[in-house]
Structure 1
């Protein structure tokens, strides 16, 4: 199933089970983290949904290791996208419930997105490389 809106943003892709889990997570934090909740729900709503076996290998999924560039600072970072309880920035594990985590999910290598940081300033993030986790399907 494909859901999209004309947002000027690159297409995003989600694994069906992750989309369901992330929808529940975003709704659960809507009162305490309204900005991230809204951003994540918008991305899920416009995503192309795939089964785990059919998601393209260059798409950022949960537990992917992502190398990206912050175009504003020129800094390149490598992080693993995880659920909040597993987040540890010193170990390079970034929560999906951070602005950068919500911005990276579903993007494809080579794509860029303008995305707000914690202070609300828009930054352009460019995906340089994606390594998906091993999946059992």
Structure 2
């Protein structure tokens, strides 16, 4: 599934050291259950620039961030990026172990990415705004 976010290679992504450690561990644990998504997330973590929490630039998508974006020509959407156990589509909480979640991590407001949905459709995602995670989402 490496091509799910094949256009991300041209984009610089940055993740905090804490997110990098947690997401790498999560992906390794998920290799048996969700091999495609786990492999995709591991690939993203391998190429990410890692920064300390204090050095993370404002407006970068990290775990717990709330992201406002346009998905192609569709209306603006607002989601929060969460770990799998916290995901709830009714509350717009999207798991990192989904194509959308993996496409978002490490990007910043103003960036766009081409990604593939689970049904193979290509989408263009334009990030309009990134709200930082709440304090309790960071622990």
Normalising by structure 2, we get a TM-score of 0.86
Question: Quick one: distance in 2 between partners of 1:8 and 1:22?
Answer: 18
What do residues 27-85 of structure 1 show as CA deviations (whole Å, max 9, x unaligned)? 111122122112211111111111111100110000000001111x4232100001111
**Partner-residue secondary structure (3-state), 1:133:** coil
**Partner-residue secondary structure (3-state), 1:109:** coil
Name the count of aligned residue pairs: 130
Judge conservation of contact 1:9–1:113 (CA < 8 Å) in 2: no
- The residue that corresponds to 2:61 in the other structure is 60
Question: Quick one: distance in 2 between partners of 1:48 and 1:13?
Answer: 5
Deviates more, 1:40-49 or 1:127-136: 127-136
Structure 1: gaps of 5 or more residues: 1-5
What do residues 80-112 of structure 1 show as CA deviations (whole Å, max 9, x unaligned)? 001111111101111111110111010010101
Question: Quick one: distance in 2 between partners of 1:47 and 1:91?
Answer: 28
- The residue that corresponds to 1:27 in the other structure is 28
Aligned pairs (5 A) from 1:13-52 = 13-52=14-53
Structure 1 segments, 4+ long, off by >3 Å, are: none
- Aligned residues: CA RMSD: 1.7
